[in-house]
Amino acid sequence: MKCLGCYKKIEKNEYCLSCRKKLFDGKRVSTVLEFDKPKPENISMYNEHSKRMSISGVQLKYSLKLVGKKLELCEKNGQYIIKPIPKADHLEKMDDAPENEHLTMQIASQIFNIKTADNALIYFKDGTPAYITKRFDVKGDGTKYIQEDFAQITNRTKDTHGESYKYEGSYLEIGELIKKHVPASMIAIENFFKIVLFNYVFSNGDAHLKNFSLIRNEYGEMELSPSYDLMSTIIHTPGEQDTALDLYYKDHESGYYTTHGHYGRTEFIEFAKRLGIIETRYLRIVDEFIKNEVNVISFIQNALMSCEAMQLLVKNLQLRLIRLR
């Protein structure tokens, strides 16, 4: 059988030692929770209020804390976030949502060395799966690191910018703010470029302003936070836009875009240049995605998605990689 954290082959039905260390301070936490899925009474309200058809608009999140070897639901001081299968009749293949997020996060960290929030798949008592992630903003003693997402940093709220405030602005704007706030920012900028490209390659069309954050580290310096909420949203919202934000202002006017109607290698290279990344570095990042195609596909085939969702993921991945060649 497989570890529900990293997919490594293991003997017993439990998280492997390395995942236990990352997620649960080494404790033998069961892969099955002792309670059923919480009843989401306010889901219809969620569905009504998400004007844009996005998965983030319908995902309910619950807080958990570790008490001994058991995970318990809690109101405050949560150390973990759990996301059950969202109830949303207007979105597709929702049963695959937890594993979609888990798989996408694992590809990011295991294959592309993107720093991500630690995560795994877990089951409720009734056997339905959920995505679980450990909060990286909570310290061991329960206090928090200061974290701000880019809607907060740019002072965009529902009141100032309307219902779709998370989808305003461009990735270049985020990059410029990283340069401004992060000391010795070039590594952070290159990582940011890699994440934006990752989201494109894996059809995450919902990487909006709130899905990128700066966090103050133990030395008091701001850094780009680990990645979170990575998933192939196209599986659930097939008609979505390719990216939640534009790469840069007027990027749709490039020759390639006007001919093909979508981004290709040209726009991402222009984006990297505008971020100030040197040629050898951005080419290495773009090539890393192209070179890992076979690797990624076998990783996906070893995961726990339904056959249909898996095929969609692979098909979309191949389409995006063609555009980057």
**313 counts as binding Zn ion under rule CB under 5 A:** no
The answer to whether the CB of 182 falls within 8 A of the CB of 224 is: yes
Q: Which residues pair with 80 in a beta bridge?
A: 64, 134
Query: In the stretch 107-136, what mask flags binding to Zn ion with x, by CB under 5 A?
Result: ------------------------------
Least Å from the CB of residue 125 to Zn ion: 22
Least distance (Å) between residue 230 CB and Zn ion: 18
23 and 29 in contact (C-beta within 8 Å)? yes
Task: Point out which span in 2-10, 51-59, 260-268, 304-312 binds Zn ion (CB under 5 A).
Answer: 2-10
Distance, first Cα to last Cα, the chain: 37
The H or E element that residue 71 is part of is strand 70-73
From 2, 6, 110, 111, residue interacting with Zn ion (rule: CB under 5 A): 6
Find the shortest distance in angstroms from Cβ 18 to Zn ion: 5
Phi and psi of 129, rounded to 5°? -85, 160
Q: Which of 1, 11, 14, 19 binds Zn ion (CB under 5 A)?
A: 19
The correct pick among 5, 57, 98, 205 for binding Zn ion (CB under 5 A) is 5
Please report whether residue 214 would count as binding Zn ion according to CB under 5 A.
no
Which of 15-23, 80-88, 133-141, 280-288 is the region at the interface with Zn ion (rule: CB under 5 A)? Answer: 15-23
The pair of three-digit structure tokens given for residue 22, joined into one six-digit string: 């990352």
For residue 287, give the H/E element and its range: helix 279-291
Tokens of 267: 């726009």
Calpha distance 173→271 (Å, rounded):
11
Q: Is 178 in the site for Zn ion (CB under 5 A)?
A: no
**Which of 229, 227, 204 has its CA nearest to residue 320?**
204
Query: Which range binds Zn ion by CB under 5 A, 5-13, 58-66, 256-264, 307-315?
Result: 5-13
CB of 102 to Zn ion, least distance (A): 11
How far apart CA 301 and CA 296 sit, in angstroms, is: 9
Q: Which stretch binds Zn ion (CB under 5 A): 19-27, 83-91, 203-211, 235-243?
A: 19-27
Looking at 9-17, 23-31, 226-234, 311-319, which segment touches Zn ion (CB under 5 A)?
Answer: 9-17
29 binds Zn ion (CB under 5 A): no
C-alpha to C-alpha distances, 322 to 108, 255, 267, 282, 290, nearest whole angstrom:
19, 17, 14, 18, 9
Q: Which residues contact Zn ion (rule: CB under 5 A)?
A: 3, 5-6, 16, 19
